[in-house]
Amino acid sequence: MARHLSGTVVPVALSGSAPPLRLPPTASRLKTARIPTVPVVSPRDLLGRPLRNLRVSVTDRCNLRCQYCMPERDYVWLPRQDVLDFEEIGRLVEAFTAVGVDRVRLTGGEPLVRRDLPRLIALLADNPAIGDLAMTTNGVLLEDEAAGLRSAGLHRLTVSLDTMQPDRFLALTRSDAHARVLAGIAAASAAGFPSLKIDAVVMRGVNDDELVPLLEYGRASGAEVRFIEYMDVGGATLWSREKVFSRAEILVRLEGRYGAVEPLREESSAPAERFRLPDGTVFGIIASTTAPFCRACDRSRLTADGLWYLCLYATRGIDLRGPLREGASVEDLAALLRSAWLERADRGAEQRLASPARTPLIAPRELRRDPHLEMHTRGG
């Protein structure tokens, strides 16, 4: 199956890899003008979805090896010279905000392994079109960074934590940094982020017995916990349907412990559905595997080397680094983004749900051939 994008054929199959897509050279080479702060009308894709959320992966490197994300022994890394510097990221983000993006989340890999990250946050916080600047981190390096991230202008922080048990953390991540993550969450809590979340991937037979301890810990830390279904994304080479602990099972488990769980009715494109326990505690579930939310998806992803992916499951990205380094103006880049988004029809998770025999998405040898297929490269 193929669709056309600015004259270029783009495969949308969910397996295999392909070289990045180069869009036609940009027309003008005008000097960048500051983007006006008036609200921008975002383009709508072929399913009527606006472009509002951008996840920026600042590095493909990570200091953990989570079983559901990086279970392999060896990885192929992005060439260092391809990784965008902070000014390049800022310029690309400016183009994104010129076409309607107003929410930016930094991710990775592990964003805090990128040196001097608060400088990037300060640079992005200066962009008046960004209403929401967030970051997802594994928390290992957070204790020393939390206050600096907050004062640099980061609004919201999500820390990934799948277990309250140090031994289990070691088995899950191949690292003994559990206490450091907890210290990081405590520091984030003290730093006064208006929103602090804890994301936990739930895997059957691994940590599905920890829903209650994680919720209790989140409550004590002032963080909202979100349970994520194990997804068959690129990189999840150990994925199997049996290991998915579903939203329905999570709710049954929590109702058994706390009593009736009330769904919160919210108008939102956010992937998490939110619920309230009888005692008022609010938590979320991201059911991307059993109940995907593609119909409302306004998210896209930028890799650390400047490829733009219109879906978490897309096999091909659009090269923005090339035009950027060849001198394209913000307006040129914005035009490129707009024309690509108008052609978007991706709904990868829904397509996966419909596939009968579901096995891991991409084989390790394919991942080695194109590391952009990895979750840790394109950002979760």
Point out which residues bind ligand SAM (CB under 6 A): 62, 68-69, 107-108, 110, 136-138, 160, 199, 201, 228, 230-231, 233, 236, 375-376, 379-380
Instruction: Tell me the residue number closest to ligand SAM, measured at CB.
Output: 380
CB 357, CB 344: distance < 8 Å: no
CA–CA–CA angle 162, 360, 138 (5° rounding) = 25
* Residue 245 one-letter amino acid: F
Binding partner at 65 among ligand SF4, ligand SAM, none, C-beta below 5 to 8 Å by kind: ligand SF4
Q: Which is nearer to ligand SAM, 5 or 121 (CB)?
A: 121
Q: Which is nearer to ligand SAM, 68 or 313 (CB)?
A: 68
CB 103, CB 131: distance < 8 Å: yes
CB 103, CB 109: distance < 8 Å: no
Binding partner at 70 among ligand SAM, ligand SF4, none, C-beta below 5 to 8 Å by kind: ligand SF4
Per the listing, tokens 């109702």 go with 255
Q: What x/- string results for residues 144 through 163 when contact with ligand SF4 is judged by CB under 6 A?
A: ----------------x---
- Which residues have a Cβ under 8 Å from the Cβ of 114 and sit 6 or more positions away? 58, 59, 61, 108, 120
Q: Which is nearer to ligand SF4, 72 or 326 (CB)?
A: 72
Q: Which of 214, 213, 249 is nearest to 229 (CA)?
A: 249
**Residues in the chain, overall count:** 380
Q: Which is nearer to ligand SF4, 272 or 294 (CB)?
A: 294
Q: Which is nearer to ligand SF4, 28 or 355 (CB)?
A: 355
* 283: contact with ligand SF4 by CB under 6 A: no
DSSP string, 179-222: HHHHHHHHHHHHHT-SEEEEEEEEBTTTTGGGHHHHHHHHHHHT
Sign of the Cα torsion 21, 24, 30, 35 reads: negative
CB 118, CB 65: distance < 8 Å: no
CB 201, CB 68: distance < 8 Å: yes
Residue in 108, 184, 218, 234 binding ligand SF4, rule: CB under 6 A: 108
| Segment lying near ligand SF4 (by CB under 6 A), choices 211-219, 238-246, 277-285, 286-294 | 286-294
Binding partner at 137 among ligand SAM, ligand SF4, none, C-beta below 5 to 8 Å by kind: ligand SAM
Binding partner at 250 among ligand SAM, ligand SF4, none, C-beta below 5 to 8 Å by kind: none
| Segment lying near ligand SF4 (by CB under 6 A), choices 96-104, 260-268, 272-280, 289-297 | 289-297
- Which residues have a Cβ under 8 Å from the Cβ of 285 and sit 6 or more positions away? 226, 227, 228, 229, 247, 250, 251, 272, 273, 275
Hey, which residues between 60 and 79 contact ligand SF4 (CB under 6 A)? 62, 64-66, 69-70
CA 330/CA 127 separation, integer angstroms: 13
Hey, which residues between 337 and 356 contact ligand SF4 (CB under 6 A)? 346-349
* 306: contact with ligand SF4 by CB under 6 A: no
Per the listing, tokens 């897509």 go with 21
Binding partner at 294 among ligand SAM, ligand SF4, none, C-beta below 5 to 8 Å by kind: ligand SF4
CB 280 to ligand SF4: min, Å: 29
Hey, which residues between 23 and 62 contact ligand SF4 (CB under 6 A)? 62
CA 47/CA 311 separation, integer angstroms: 13
The residues that touch ligand SF4, with contacts defined as CB under 6 A, are 62, 64-66, 69-70, 108-110, 138, 160, 292-294, 297, 299, 311-313, 346-349, 376
